[in-house]
């Protein structure tokens, strides 16, 4: 359902819904006698680091209601090798199954200001225990000068960590997760962002990928003296290569994106925690590559100093927000709204949904039975008030565009919403934006095909044209049922508009593939197996008919008709040739009778020749089968006598 409507109907003191995200405060987590400067989550494993070099570990658990606790809690004083003075700057939790489950990686500064990355294992039990350091890496010429932040790619097949300085580098725990090594992947931080890194998050590729790759999202403080004080940039990391996508979005001084968080359930989503120093407030935005965010999903009237995101034990996306003003962290659950693919309470009695017994205004033609009975389709043609559309999205190769989150082809049936006044076109555009969020590059090469039961007005066409003009779609093909009010404005090379008859629309809504114009199987068809069987049968009949010779035997009266059947057993198919019925009637004209007799003799000779050929072929086939049977009998006897395989093979070939 519309996010604005969701906000107006659901907003309360502890629940908000904007940008397709529902944020609900569920409790507070006490963090007593510990003031963290960095904190991270891996699922519900919690780790926090303070200025004194102490590490707090635990597992976030609920005791019912809004009562939360840090189970298996432990505090460890971090120290380096004997006689070595270290300062711990940052930390990251990374899955490491080879080392027992979880490793923790630290960014450390030595007394001489050199920085290195170290790794320890965490032992899970009644309390979480930090084990000894097992690997480290400190090559300045590789890591770059002044490493400031580290973060983990928790979805990578091997434990992977990214570091940022003037360079962005990728490192892995190799040799069974025991040795920290750099990879060749590296990228230069842009010059305008070298004034200071604020935060970094990893966005794994959506869906099943043959080779793992991810996007690194980094926020910087810029050197700009104007209003663009901060920026967020995206980097593509694929195998051992890394490149800047140059899709930066910039912020003013009243919106500092000092924390970036990656959604652990929806890999397409990254959040920016932005604070406004002038009024001590915080806004949390859902950010999209190259697009400046609109409204925040959550607004708070205090400074959020630290934040982390993970998964609770019951698989809810958990947001942890901490402020030094409090001795506890606030816990929120985040969930996505279904948009028009779900039924909002306002639309419980929406007339189109009730009439068509539809669960929502949008249904996927992949997962639902979308076809309608003719009696309902009749209510959607002519001057009927209900708006109905079929939509499919195809890529540049003519295949269905795949929804990143579900893996299904983008094929929809859309009902207009009379309750809230949404047309199928506006519902469609909202769903496209929601479905292909952070996948606009794929959408930009697709063709959108729409079939609608009413003549679209110019305002609706302008909405669709705006997507073409901005490069968000490659082309649009629209078919519509002409209604009163005249034709819409003419289309263009990339936007074709074609009127169709009500009868054709009826057929589209039952069993025809309107999107492919019946040239091949497409979006809206009957079961593919039925279609393929029908095609094979038709082709088989055509082939058979093309091999039946046209008989030259003249027609005769039915009472004197007879039948002849011939067999043409050629070497390829052995197909049957059916000959027409023939008969001889009395002729009053002797000359005609003589001519007829001559024709009949010719036909009889042809029939006799065909029959003789069939008999000869049948005789040859019988002889071949008999020879093969004798060879098999001979082999059966030799197998019983224990004859070697090589002898059997040679004997069979000889036979």
556 part of a folded domain: no
CATH number at residue 313: 2.120.10
- From CA 265, how far away is CA 256, in angstroms rounded? 25
- From CA 611, how far away is CA 600, in angstroms rounded? 16
CATH number at residue 449: 3.40.140
647 part of a folded domain: no
* DSSP-assigned letters across all residues of 14-63: SEEEETTEEEEEEEEEE-TT--EEEEEEETTEEEEEETTSEEEEEEEEE-
User: What is the domain count for the chain?
Assistant: 3
Shared domain for 184 and 212, answered yes or no, is yes
195 part of a folded domain: yes
Task: Report pLDDT for 51.
Answer: 93
503 part of a folded domain: yes
Task: Report pLDDT for 419.
Answer: 76
Shared domain for 348 and 322, answered yes or no, is no
- Beta strand spans in 380-489 (E): 388-394, 411-415, 447-452, 475-481
Task: Report pLDDT for 485.
Answer: 61
Shared domain for 364 and 269, answered yes or no, is no
Residue closest to 206 by CA, chosen among 263, 168, 254: 263
Question: Which residues in the chain land under pLDDT 70?
Answer: 1-19, 206-210, 225, 345, 382-384, 484-491, 511-599, 602, 609, 612, 615-617, 639-655
Task: Report pLDDT for 486.
Answer: 59
Edge-first strand order for the sheet with 179-188 is: 149-153, 160-164, 167-174, 179-188
* DSSP-assigned letters across all residues of 345-377: GGGTT-HHHHHHT-SSSEEETTTS-----HHHH
Contacts for 63 with CB less than 8 Å, ≥ 6 apart: 69
Burial of 289 (0-12, 13-18, 19+ CB in 10 A): buried
Shared domain for 198 and 95, answered yes or no, is yes
Shared domain for 413 and 271, answered yes or no, is no
- From CA 41, how far away is CA 53, in angstroms rounded? 18
pLDDT digits (tens, 9 = 90+) for 407-463: 899 999 998 887 778 889 999 998 998 888 877 888 999 999 999 988 888 888 888
Cβ neighbours, 10 Å, residue 16: 21
Shared domain for 78 and 212, answered yes or no, is yes
Shared domain for 408 and 511, answered yes or no, is yes
Q: For residue 623, what are the domain limits?
A: 562-640
233, 218 Cβ separation under 8 angstroms: yes
238 part of a folded domain: yes
pLDDT digits (tens, 9 = 90+) for 552-592: 333 333 333 333 333 333 333 333 333 333 333 443 444 44
Instruction: Record the pTM.
Output: 0.66
Shared domain for 397 and 297, answered yes or no, is no
Task: Report pLDDT for 205.
Answer: 77
Last residue of a domain, one of 298, 327, 356: 327
pLDDT digits (tens, 9 = 90+) for 479-510: 988 876 656 666 678 999 988 888 888 888 87
């Amino acid at each position: 359902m519309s996010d604005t409507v969701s906000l107006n109907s659901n907003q309360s003191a502890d629940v908000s819904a904007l940008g397709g995200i529902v944020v609900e405060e569920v409790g507070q987590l006490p963090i007593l006698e510990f003031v963290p400067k960095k904190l991270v989550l891996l699922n519900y494993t919690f780790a926090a680091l303070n200025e004194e070099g102490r590490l707090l570990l635990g597992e976030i658990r609920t005791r019912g209601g809004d009562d939360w606790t840090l189970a298996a809690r432990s505090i460890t004083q971090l120290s380096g090798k004997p006689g070595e003075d270290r300062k711990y700057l940052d930390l990251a939790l990374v899955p490491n199954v080879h080392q027992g489950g979880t490793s923790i990686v630290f960014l450390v500064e030595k007394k001489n200001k050199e920085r290195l990355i170290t790794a320890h294992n965490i032992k899970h039990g009644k309390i979480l225990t930090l084990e000894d350091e097992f690997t480290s890496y400190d090559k300045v010429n590789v890591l770059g000068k002044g490493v400031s932040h580290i973060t983990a790619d928790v979805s990578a097949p091997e434990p992977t960590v990214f570091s940022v300085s003037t360079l962005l580098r990728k490192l892995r725990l190799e040799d069974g997760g025991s040795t920290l090594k750099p990879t060749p992947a590296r990228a230069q931080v842009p010059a305008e962002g070298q004034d200071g890194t604020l935060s970094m998050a990893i966005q794994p590729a959506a869906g099943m990928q043959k080779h793992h790759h991810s996007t690194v999202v980094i926020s910087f403080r810029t050197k700009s003296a104007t209003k663009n004080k901060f920026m967020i940039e995206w980097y593509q990391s694929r195998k051992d290569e890394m490149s800047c996508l140059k899709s930066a979005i910039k912020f003013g001084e009243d919106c500092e994106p000092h924390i970036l968080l990656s959604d652990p359930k929806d890999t397409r989503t990254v959040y920016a925690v932005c604070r406004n120093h002038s009024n001590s407030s915080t806004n949390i935005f859902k950010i999209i590559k190259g697009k400046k965010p609109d409204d925040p999903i959550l607004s708070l009237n205090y400074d959020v100093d630290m934040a982390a995101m993970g998964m609770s034990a019951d698989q809810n996306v958990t947001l942890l927000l901490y402020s030094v003003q409090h001795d506890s962290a606030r816990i929120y659950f985040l969930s996505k709204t279904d948009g028009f693919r779900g039924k909002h309470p306002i639309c419980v009695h929406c007339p189109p949904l009730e009439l068509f017994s539809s669960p929502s205004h949008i249904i996927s033609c992949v997962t639902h039975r979308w076809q309608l009975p003719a009696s309902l389709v009749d209510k959607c043609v002519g001057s009927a008030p209900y708006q109905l559309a079929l939509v499919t999205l195809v890529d540049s190769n003519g295949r269905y565009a795949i929804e990143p989150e579900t893996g299904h082809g983008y094929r929809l049936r859309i009902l207009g919403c009379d309750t809230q006044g949404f047309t199928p076109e506006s519902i469609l555009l909202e769903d496209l934006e929601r479905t292909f969020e952070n996948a606009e590059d794929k959408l930009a090469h697709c063709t959108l095909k729409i079939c609608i039961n009413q003549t679209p007005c110019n305002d609706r066409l302008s909405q669709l044209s705006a997507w073409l003009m901005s490069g968000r779609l490659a082309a649009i093909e629209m078919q519509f049922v002409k209604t009163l009010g005249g034709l819409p404005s003419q289309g263009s090379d990339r936007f074709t508009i074609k009127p169709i008859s009500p009868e054709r629309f009826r057929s589209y809504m039952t069993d025809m593939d309107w999107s492919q114009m019946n040239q091949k199987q497409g979006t809206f068809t009957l079961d593919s197996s039925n279609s393929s069987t029908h095609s094979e049968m038709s082709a088989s009949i055509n082939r058979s008919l093309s091999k039946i010779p046209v008989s030259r035997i003249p027609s005769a009266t039915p009472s004197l008709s007879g039948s002849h059947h011939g067999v043409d057993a050629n070497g390829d198919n052995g197909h049957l040739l059916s000959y027409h019925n023939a008969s001889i009637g009395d002729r009053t004209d002797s000359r005609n009778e003589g001519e007829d007799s001559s024709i009949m003799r010719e036909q009889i000779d042809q029939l006799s020749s065909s029959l003789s050929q069939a008999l000869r072929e049948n005789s040859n086939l019988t002889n071949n089968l008999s020879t093969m049977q004798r060879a098999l009998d001979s082999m059966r006897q030799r197998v019983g006598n224990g004859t070697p395989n090589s002898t059997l093979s040679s004997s069979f070939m000889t036979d």
